[in-house]
Amino acid sequence: MDARKLQFTGVFFDGQSPRKQPVSIALSPRQLTLTTDAGKSFNWQYANLKLRASGGPPKAPFHIEHLTDSGPNPAPETLVVEDAAFLENLQRASAVPLHATLRPASGWKLVLMAVGFVVAPLFIYGLWKVAIPAMTEEVAMRVPVEWEKKLGGTIIEELPKALAPVADPEKEKALDAIAARLLKTVPDQPYTIRIYVVPHKLVNAMAFPGGHIVFFQGLLNTAETPEELAGVMAHEIQHVLLRHSTRSIIRSMASQLLLTLIGGDMEGTMSTILGVAGELDGLRHSRKMEREADEKGMQMILAAGIDPIGMIRMFDKFDKEKFQISIGEDPNVLPEEEIKDWLDYFSTHPATEDRVGQLKKQVAKAGKTSYTPLLPGLDWQATMVQDLDPKKEPETSPLDGPQL
């Protein structure tokens, strides 16, 4: 036989004011009844009770929270009982087993919640940083070349009118000859390189998926020899062969998709953070791609027996030109160092000396000294250089800035 105790005393907090109210507690099979000194009584169903605990076996004083659906008040009603026998008697009085009624918010649950808060963003960030790039790589490498050709062709057709290619057979013939010399070094590649000329002053070139390469007139005007142009051509051909544009497009699509999925059930803050992380990450990848195209491009130049000094000179010039294009009319707005930092971080290009320096190192390492001239019978300047009417050109274009 055991002596059951069904009456206790405790302190009641209503969750809305810090006021404590002494109460008497009566245990019955379904509920406990609290009665204040003023004689007011209310019943708490056992099913709605939660024992607040901080890990380990529960001990006095017991903090019992009453879970209600009511209102906006975030703090629950709480009962504090000092009597060490209270919990045991509460268990005995209850008609249903304690574990089904009194739900302890014990330490492990809190720890689990904390872990969840830390792990969920990490998981998503991991998805972003590791899974998407890996997947992008995988998908881009499996995309059929025919699909890439179609995609690239569509982009060319959709270029804004001011940047649309114009047929220019003489220049195209010279550019095709340079491409052919370079492509002899990679006989097994699956692309057909198609060269386009755009009569725009941009000192730039762009490679689109599937082998479509665009040269802007500004770049043709800047290249003083076929060898200089060949340096850019080799770089752009490598962008095609390495599927850089295809990878970037697929990656951007996957990132957008993930953002949409997250946006569905998470706070906007998270989407924003990931958006920024994704963008910076994208830039970093672009720079990695640029270095790769530089390195493999120079390998191609050397393998084709073309004088590599042309590529080095051209990239030196290009970076100086880009300086003007990116910063605008007045390069004195920011101190040089600051501009350099800016370009280093936010352009798809490493800063000048880094890039040109790498190329020089590569050439020195190769140690080759004799080269075969490129297009020796051609009057390069007469064929390629063309003055553009500055009035016809748009002030800005979506393609301003480094794209090479």
Q: Please give the residue ranges that form the binding site for Zn ion (CB under 5 A).
A: 290, 293, 404
Structure tokens at 167: 């047929």
Classify residue 377 by its DSSP letter.
Answer: T
Question: What is the spatial distance between Cα 165 and Cα 213, in angstroms, rounded to a whole number?
Answer: 10
Q: Are 178 and 380 in contact (CB under 8 A)?
A: no
> Count of alpha carbons within 13 Å of 395, Cβ hemisphere only?
2
Q: Which amino acid is at 315?
A: F
Three-class SS state of 165 = coil
Nearest CB to Zn ion, comparing residues 290 and 319: 290
Q: Are 282 and 248 in contact (CB under 8 A)?
A: yes
Q: Are 404 and 318 in contact (CB under 8 A)?
A: yes
We find the least distance from the C-beta atom of residue 286 to Zn ion, in angstroms, to be 8
Nearest CB to Zn ion, comparing residues 173 and 288: 288
Nearest CB to Zn ion, comparing residues 94 and 248: 248
Question: What is the spatial distance between Cα 128 and Cα 114, in angstroms, rounded to a whole number?
Answer: 22
Nearest CB to Zn ion, comparing residues 93 and 234: 234
In terms of DSSP bridges, do strands 77-81 and 62-66 run parallel, antiparallel, or are they unpaired?
Answer: antiparallel
We find the least distance from the C-beta atom of residue 325 to Zn ion, in angstroms, to be 15
We find the least distance from the C-beta atom of residue 137 to Zn ion, in angstroms, to be 18
Nearest CB to Zn ion, comparing residues 312 and 404: 404
We find the least distance from the C-beta atom of residue 327 to Zn ion, in angstroms, to be 19
* Long-range CB contacts (within 8 A, 24+) of 108-112: 108/55
We find the least distance from the C-beta atom of residue 404 to Zn ion, in angstroms, to be 5
Nearest CB to Zn ion, comparing residues 228 and 290: 290
Nearest CB to Zn ion, comparing residues 83 and 281: 281
We find the least distance from the C-beta atom of residue 368 to Zn ion, in angstroms, to be 24
We find the least distance from the C-beta atom of residue 257 to Zn ion, in angstroms, to be 26
Question: What is the spatial distance between Cα 392 and Cα 110, in angstroms, rounded to a whole number?
Answer: 67
Question: What is the spatial distance between Cα 254 and Cα 165, in angstroms, rounded to a whole number?
Answer: 30
We find the least distance from the C-beta atom of residue 358 to Zn ion, in angstroms, to be 14
Q: 20 forms bridges with which residues in the sheet?
A: 13
Nearest CB to Zn ion, comparing residues 172 and 292: 292
Q: Are 221 and 380 in contact (CB under 8 A)?
A: no
Q: Are 249 and 282 in contact (CB under 8 A)?
A: no
Nearest CB to Zn ion, comparing residues 51 and 404: 404
- Residue 327 class from Cβ within 10 Å (0-12 exposed, 13-18 middle, 19+ buried)? middle
Radius of gyration of the CA atoms of the chain, in A:
36
We find the least distance from the C-beta atom of residue 313 to Zn ion, in angstroms, to be 17
